[in-house]
Structure 1
């Protein structure tokens, strides 16, 4: 019996798919244009790789999907849930209302039902005020039939989760299990407004995640594949469908992350810069011990400040479909706009009439794409100028991501990486591995499953050693619940930060465990 797995990564331009065998060798691969409704593109890609691989369908055991659905829904303000925002924190937090600083158009969609209720905790876990349960059940009854998702945020809930859990119970009793509930203590870290924003966004994309998951499962079923389905999350590991529908915000930025993991696997490098060139953007991330470096800053998604974990990625508006323009004074500009998934209709080499970066490299003789005769006439000076700007922009971005002046290995992946030369400033060596065009789908297929715990512990209760062990154990259990093999789970990331201003010798601990899928 073979043990095959499908990996799919949906980008803005292409939907990439691969089938790997149990040794992670690529059996078949394809790049399909991403479709407007996304699911059609996934369905076509699945069909293609299964037909090409010619392996028994019952031997395809796993299917992994990395998707931009949730990100796009927030950025485009489309297909969002009807959300109620509950903040537990009166009278302490009345000064700044929820959704302050969120762009107006998004606030209009998400800010229809906003409540601030008595309760919450101090930074040391003491209650600010008793939780107003009576008011919570009044609100729950008011919301019947009006919303399908609830975001609950209590002050300092990463220190004490009691009030959020009690509120959750009340809402579930009144509204039943149909209404999705997001708790801030399970999503963000300390910092009320950013954590609340992340929780509201999470609540807003539950339906998108659910329909994406169903679409993916159905696409596989139509092909006669009954595989276990997982979604890529933004730390380079996988989560089960149930977990995804509960924490859809964790899928945000999983595309660049998949590319980083795929690049690491294809080149056997564990510390390098990964340059992923797509049709629209180039994303640059950092491999540290085979996993993406995490960002330590507040992250904006669709104009909203949040503080849940994200990979540290810089993006430049350079890709295979980037539009090249010549101004009247002869200066050449690139992008930031791109023809995206319409490249095969609009670029010169495909008979279109938009000049793109793809046309430039074909004119330079660096790639054979489309019809070369369409770009033979291009002004040599223009071609050189455009190419120079393209390389320079990527080199500047590489420089921004480096932590020292030393040259560092660079791995080029993504379909658009044919744009870049074999030598880049700041790179000690440039790798362009086999299957570079589908590194993201490979990254999604080989991912491990992880669990993470991040909260404040009082060391005085159990003593330091015991507490650290407890946190590690909790992270391992999370990973096993998410689908990892209990015997092979290990701690891959651990940090503890003493909080000097808290009594009880408090420490914020973040522990992450990861392991291969349980067979």
Structure 2
């Protein structure tokens, strides 16, 4: 029997599930377990949750892979606990605050078309490295027009690798769109995570080995797909916000629905995202985390400061709920009641010490001149009302059913459903949906290219993640962009020792018509019979052409 182990480190709990690979949906779940998340040492909570899963020898031996959804990257970015990072800028620096601890500039410059204007100086690069290397644990390299031509970033990177053992990442490796400051800071933050993810993965592997589990490790990325441990060691920033993405994948798996709004209620917050056609809806601008705008592929989320551990405070006639998080009284907290305590008082959820919650509610009720049951009912109604106003009402406007998951989901959303009319789905195993999502997610690698007019109105330039190419004919330019992107996306999947199951491609043509910018998208699946779609140039007028953006997805096996 073959199994997958899914692990999710949430704000309060670390969840684990054991799934059978030949099953789908809730029927795939064999075992599930929870343990408290250990924030100062996430691998300890992972180990405790795995122990609680109580795997027998055949289950441990039969595990084909372990998939982690971890808050490690997000926490490190938010708490500014990145390792010391250096940034080497090629040419002019981006405007705005930089995330690096140490910065050096070296000569080099390209125009917006990707043509070299000033060459990179090897001597200047070595001197910059000599000044910066003693102070940092990792390096980033970034240049202004690297998405149009990555040659100078690559050149500086190779000089660094020849002369230093420091890990180094380039801006063009992190994003293929313009946005110099954001791309630079994404590379810097990624560099700052490299030693952190390295130590974390080593600790997790050590714990797994001690438990007799030797399966390969995958990690969930912020877009809901997964990648191998080796890939994540190179691009750990892509795991930021992996928890909400995993929750959406898990909800797809558990419900079988293709179009849904997912509301994941955790300890501190509720994360709300949308799934359309079984695919997580992504943010076009990346993600804002810890004050940094990062160009990463991540779920488009709306986050509400309401969770099971939110502070519930009555002041006069007003009841304030969140966004502050406190330790629930039932777990030894002393700052006041939480939604978790309210459920302990009503008897609907009693994992911890119910008497502590009842005693605290009694004291607060007496201070308010009320009976305990009346006071608890008042708080209960306030929490349910906030859930409806801030979560359910906005979700209902999408026209999609609301799927509620997370440990408090059934109790709280059930209460709201009793008072208000809306389309609610609470899947079986809702309390471990994130871990299910981790186990069920599949590999997906994306590569992009853009075709724009050449310099001085001559021909077309194809800008890819590998380099730039010139063609006189637009059809040849588009075909080159598709073939390079396809080869790169497939290569990224094969690098993880897997084969692509499906290749999806699209191009979006931007052109001017009647003084307005218009867009036209073409999508298809690349097969052996039809390796590339034929580009139909419907706008023969060169002056109307603006650009064509190409995207190719190489999709590995998915288990949803």
User: Would you say same fold, with TM above 0.5?
Assistant: yes
Q: Cα distance 1:89–1:165, how it changes in 2: closer, same or farther (>3 A)?
A: same
Q: Cα distance 1:320–1:398, how it changes in 2: closer, same or farther (>3 A)?
A: closer
Structure 2 equivalent of residue 395 of structure 1:
388
Out of 339, 342, 355, the position equivalent to 2:337 is 355
Q: Cα distance 1:145–1:370, how it changes in 2: closer, same or farther (>3 A)?
A: closer
Structure 2 equivalent of residue 339 of structure 1:
326
Secondary structure of 1:125 counterpart: coil
**Matches for 1:65-84 after TM superposition, within 5 Å:** 65-78=68-81, 80-84=82-86
Taking the aligned partners of 1:415 and 1:319, their CA distance within structure 2 comes to: 10
Out of 403, 410, 418, the position equivalent to 2:402 is 410
Taking the aligned partners of 2:393 and 2:422, their CA distance within structure 1 comes to: 16
Shift of 1:86: 1.1
C-alpha contact (below 8 Å) 2:269/2:303 kept by paired residues:
yes
Question: 1:330-370 CA deviation, whole Å, 9 max, x = no partner?
Answer: 31111212235x665236xxxx6731112223444544554
Structure 2 equivalent of residue 514 of structure 1:
555
Secondary structure of 1:123 counterpart: coil
Out of 286, 289, 294, the position equivalent to 1:306 is 294
Shift of 1:52: 4.5
Taking the aligned partners of 2:157 and 2:511, their CA distance within structure 1 comes to: 28
Structure 1 equivalent of residue 243 of structure 2:
255
Secondary structure of 2:120 counterpart: coil
Taking the aligned partners of 2:329 and 2:188, their CA distance within structure 1 comes to: 36
Does residue 39 of the first structure (1) align with residue 43 of the second (2)?
yes
Structure 2 equivalent of residue 443 of structure 1:
437
Flag the structure with larger Rg: 2
Out of 479, 482, 491, the position equivalent to 1:468 is 482
- Runs of 4+ aligned structure 1 residues displaced above 6 Å come to 499-505
Out of 416, 419, 429, the position equivalent to 2:423 is 429
C-alpha contact (below 8 Å) 2:140/2:171 kept by paired residues:
yes
Shift of 1:386: 2.9
Q: How many residues align?
A: 491
Question: 1:164-191 CA deviation, whole Å, 9 max, x = no partner?
Answer: 111110000110xx31111111112311
Shift of 1:435: 1.0
Does residue 296 of the first structure (1) align with residue 284 of the second (2)?
yes
Question: 1:274-304 CA deviation, whole Å, 9 max, x = no partner?
Answer: 0111111111111122221111235321111
TM-score for the superposition, normalised by structure 2: 0.81
Taking the aligned partners of 1:138 and 1:499, their CA distance within structure 2 comes to: 46
Q: Which runs of 5+ in 2 are unaligned?
A: 366-371, 452-460, 463-469, 518-541
Q: Cα distance 1:196–1:435, how it changes in 2: closer, same or farther (>3 A)?
A: same
Taking the aligned partners of 1:426 and 1:271, their CA distance within structure 2 comes to: 22
Structure 1 equivalent of residue 186 of structure 2:
198
Shift of 1:204: 0.7
Q: Which runs of 5+ in 1 are unaligned?
A: none
Shift of 1:310: 1.8
TM-score for the superposition, normalised by structure 1: 0.87
Out of 55, 58, 68, the position equivalent to 2:58 is 55
CA RMSD of aligned residues (A): 2.8
